[in-house]
Amino acid sequence: MHILHLIKSLKDRWYRPLARVEGMMPALLEFRRKIIMSGKQLDLDAIVCYFDVVSKWHDNLDETVRPAMKDLKEVDYGQYTALIGLLQKLANAIVISGRCQHGWNRTKKGQVVLPENVFLGNIYGLLTHPVPYWQGQRHDTNRNSWQSGIYAATCVDTTPYEVVCKQARRFQTEKGSVICDRITDIENLLNLK
């Protein structure tokens, strides 16, 4: 067991896998800044901007975060376990907000996220439509005509447009916060080393 520890320790000093993560930090900090800035967009433009920012990282996980985790695992004998865990949580959070052909962000790798590729709805009896459809409903002031059945009490005095805006904002806030928090955790952990 001690020999394995010694070998990993020598590999760690020779290959310096931590330097790969440290080198990634400026890009991760910029990623966090862009996620925060996407939240300042108006209404449904915010979710489109958010998906575009996250999708670029989703496309490059196999060239950035995952190789860094692999390198750290090869030399880890406990000193990088927390960092590896944070990188894994970051990768998972990016995938959850990334591209999915049947999800909200229906784009392919390398494709710019446009409003036509972001689908919202499937909530409170509303059908799923792309963002331009919902933006066209923005000025519909008929607040209660769409509500029926079990959802009527849930959405009192709201328009379908307001419902999907809240849905999008909630997703962006919750998922974006997780990504930003993981980046901050990684930054703090690296500052301790």
pLDDT tens, the chain, 193 aa long: 566 555 555 455 545 678 889 999 999 999 999 999 999 988 999 999 999 999 999 999 999 999 999 989 888 878 899 999 999 999 999 999 999 999 999 999 999 999 999 999 888 778 899 999 999 988 876 655 555 555 555 666 678 888 899 999 999 999 999 999 999 999 999 986 4
* Partners of residue 123 on adjacent β-strands: 126
* Partners of residue 130 on adjacent β-strands: 119
For 96-107, the pLDDT digits (tens) are 999 999 999 999
* Alpha carbon distance 163, 169 (integer Å): 10
Backbone φ, ψ for residue 72 (5° rounding): -65, -40
Asked if residues 185 and 103 have their Cβ atoms less than 8 Å apart, the reply is: no
Backbone φ, ψ for residue 120 (5° rounding): -125, 160
* Alpha carbon distance 77, 80 (integer Å): 7
Backbone φ, ψ for residue 85 (5° rounding): -60, -40
DSSP, res 149: G
